[in-house]
Amino acid sequence: MVSPEIHKDRIWIDGCFDFAHHGHAGAMLQARQLGNSLYVGVHSDEEILENKGPVVMTLPERILAVEACKWATHAVPSAPYVTSPNVMDHYGCFYVVHGDDITTDANGEDCYRVVKDAGRFLVVKRTPNISTTDLVGRMLLCTKNHHIKTVRSENVEAALANAKVGKQTEGIITPHTLEKFSEYATAEDGKHPRDGVYIWTTSSGETDTGMLTTLVEPSPKFMQSHKRMIYVDGGFDLFFAGHIEFLRLVSQCAASLCPATTDDTETEIGIIVGIHSDATVNTFKRLNYPIMSLFERALCVLQCKFVSHVVLQAPYCPTQSFLDALPWDIVAVMHGPTLFDTQGEAGDPYAEVKRTGLYKEIGEHLYKDISTEKIVERVTRNRGVYEERQRRKGWKSDIESQLRKQEDAKSS
C-alpha cells in the first residue's frame, strides 16, 4: 500500500462540534488561516458519550454544520476522540490545530498527547465565553443576561465612531464585535475580506422607517459580482440543521435564477440574511429566548458558506421601504417551512412582499421539524443527564487546569 502524501499546509482539526456556535467556527477560521485546506474530524455520538457526556445534536446534524462552514474543506465523520496520527496521515494532514485549552478523555488524559509528542500540534486562541456547556447552562437556568440591548438610530453613529477608536460601548457595536465581524466576514481562505455586515436601526417609538449603517465593508469585487440578492430573515437561534438546510436550498434557488451572460462579467445572486434583535425574538418567543445573543447568532450566520451579507436588527416585517434601503436589487424574499404566528399583533410579517410578488417559499426538507424550542426540549427532557454532564465538565475542568499548569511549567 502506497503511503499518502503528507502536506504541511493541509490542516487537521477535530472535536464534537455540538451546536454550530461561533467558538467552533472561530477555531476552524484560525486553522484554515494556517494552511490551504482544512479537514475537520467529527467525533461519533458514542465516543462523546463515553468521554464527555451526551450530545445534543446527532452526528448527521453536526456533520451538516461542519460542511456548511465556509472555511472547512472536508468533514470526516466518527474521527477518534483521542487524536490519531494515523488518521491524520490517511487524509494527508501533518498538523492538528486546537485551542489553547486542554481537552481530556474519559481517563483524564490529554486527547492530544500523542500528536504533541510527535511535534504535530499547533495552538490557536480559544474563543472565550461560549461553549456547548455554556449554552446548555442557559437552557437549564433560563437566564437572559446574555441579551443585547437594541441600538437606536440616534445612537448608532456615535457608537460606531467610539468603537472604531477603541472606546468601550454597550450593545452590539463595540471594538470587540467589530473585530470579530471583520474576521468572520472573510472569504473561504479566512484571510481576505468578502462579506458585508450592516445594522438596521429605527428611532425610539418608530417602526416603519429606519436607516442602514455599514459596520463591515464588503469586498468591492464581491459587491460588483453580486449586485442582486435574495433576502431571508429570522432569529437563527442555535443555528441548527434546519437553518443550514434552508440556506442551502435558497442558495440552489439563487444559482437557478442566474441568467447566462454573453460577456465575461461574473454575475451571481447572493443571499443576504436579516437577523432579528434579541428584543424582537423575545417578544415573540418569550421565556429566555433567544438562547444565543444577536452577536453570537450573527457570527454563526456569517461563517456559513451559503451567506453573502448579514443585516443586524432586521425588522420583523421586511417592508418595501426596508428592502429599498438595501444596496442591492432584491430579486426575492424567501421563507422556509417554519410556521409563524399570523394572528398575533404583527400579523403576517410577509404580507407586503407577498403583494409585490417577491415572496417565495422553500418547501419541506429533511430537517423541517427541528426548531430552537425542540432542541431545548432535547436538553430539558433529559435534564438529569445534562446536569450530570455539567457536573462532569466541572470535574474535568479541574484536571485540565492542572495539565495546563504542567505544560506551562515545562515551557517556561
Q: What is the pLDDT of residues 6-45, one digit of tens each?
A: 999 999 999 999 877 788 899 999 999 999 999 999 999 9
pLDDT at 383: 73
| Between residues 219 and 390, the one the model is more confident about | 219
Summarised one tens digit per residue, pLDDT across range 260-269 is: 544 445 579 9
113 plus 166 within the same structural domain: no
Does 133 reside within a domain?
A: no
Does 134 reside within a domain?
A: no
* Position 387 confidence tier, pLDDT thresholds 50, 70, 90: low
Is the pLDDT reported for residue 141 higher than 90?
A: no
Is the pLDDT reported for residue 339 higher than 80?
A: no
pLDDT at 19: 79
CB under 8 Å to 68, separation ≥6 — which residues? 20, 244, 247, 248, 304, 305, 306
Mean pLDDT of 265-292: 91
CATH number at residue 361: 3.40.50.620
268 plus 365 within the same structural domain: yes
257 plus 316 within the same structural domain: yes
Q: Which residues pair with 275 in a beta bridge?
A: 234, 312
* Position 341 confidence tier, pLDDT thresholds 50, 70, 90: low
Is the pLDDT reported for residue 90 higher than 90?
A: yes
Distances (CA, A) of 376 to 97, 132, 139: 31, 12, 6
Is the pLDDT reported for residue 2 higher than 60?
A: no
167 plus 100 within the same structural domain: no
pLDDT at 405: 55
Element (H, E) at 251: helix 241-257
- Picking from 301, 233, 225, 303, the residue whose alpha carbon sits closest to that of residue 269 is 225
64 plus 108 within the same structural domain: yes
The pairs formed by 59-64 with CB atoms below 8 angstroms and a separation of 24 or more are 60/241, 61/240, 61/241, 61/367, 61/370, 62/16, 62/17, 62/18, 64/241, 64/244, 64/245, 64/367
Distances (CA, A) of 233 to 31, 217, 350: 30, 20, 11
Element (H, E) at 180: helix 175-184
Q: Which of 47-56, 61-70, 215-224 has the lowest mean pLDDT?
A: 47-56
Is the pLDDT reported for residue 128 higher than 90?
A: no
- Picking from 361, 252, 261, 238, the residue whose alpha carbon sits closest to that of residue 305 is 252
Does residue 98 contact residue 124 with C-beta atoms inside 8 Å? yes
Summarised one tens digit per residue, pLDDT across range 304-329 is: 999 999 999 999 999 999 999 999 99
pLDDT at 389: 57
> What residue numbers bound the domain in which 330 lies?
143-372
pLDDT at 3: 58
Does 171 reside within a domain?
A: yes
57 plus 161 within the same structural domain: no
Q: How many domains does the chain have?
A: 2
Does 2 reside within a domain?
A: no
- 250, exposed or middle or buried, with CB in 10 Å at 0-12, 13-18, 19+? buried
Mean pLDDT of 158-176: 92
114 plus 170 within the same structural domain: no
Cell of 336: 422556509
82 plus 169 within the same structural domain: no
237 plus 358 within the same structural domain: yes
- 32, exposed or middle or buried, with CB in 10 Å at 0-12, 13-18, 19+? buried
Distance, C-alpha 402 to centroid of its chain:
31
For residue 156, the tally of other CB atoms under 10 A from its CB is 21
Max avg pLDDT among 73-77, 144-148, 368-372: 73-77
Does 286 reside within a domain?
A: yes
What is the rounded distance in angstroms from the CA atom of residue 387 to the CA atom of residue 320?
47
Mean pLDDT of 74-91: 96
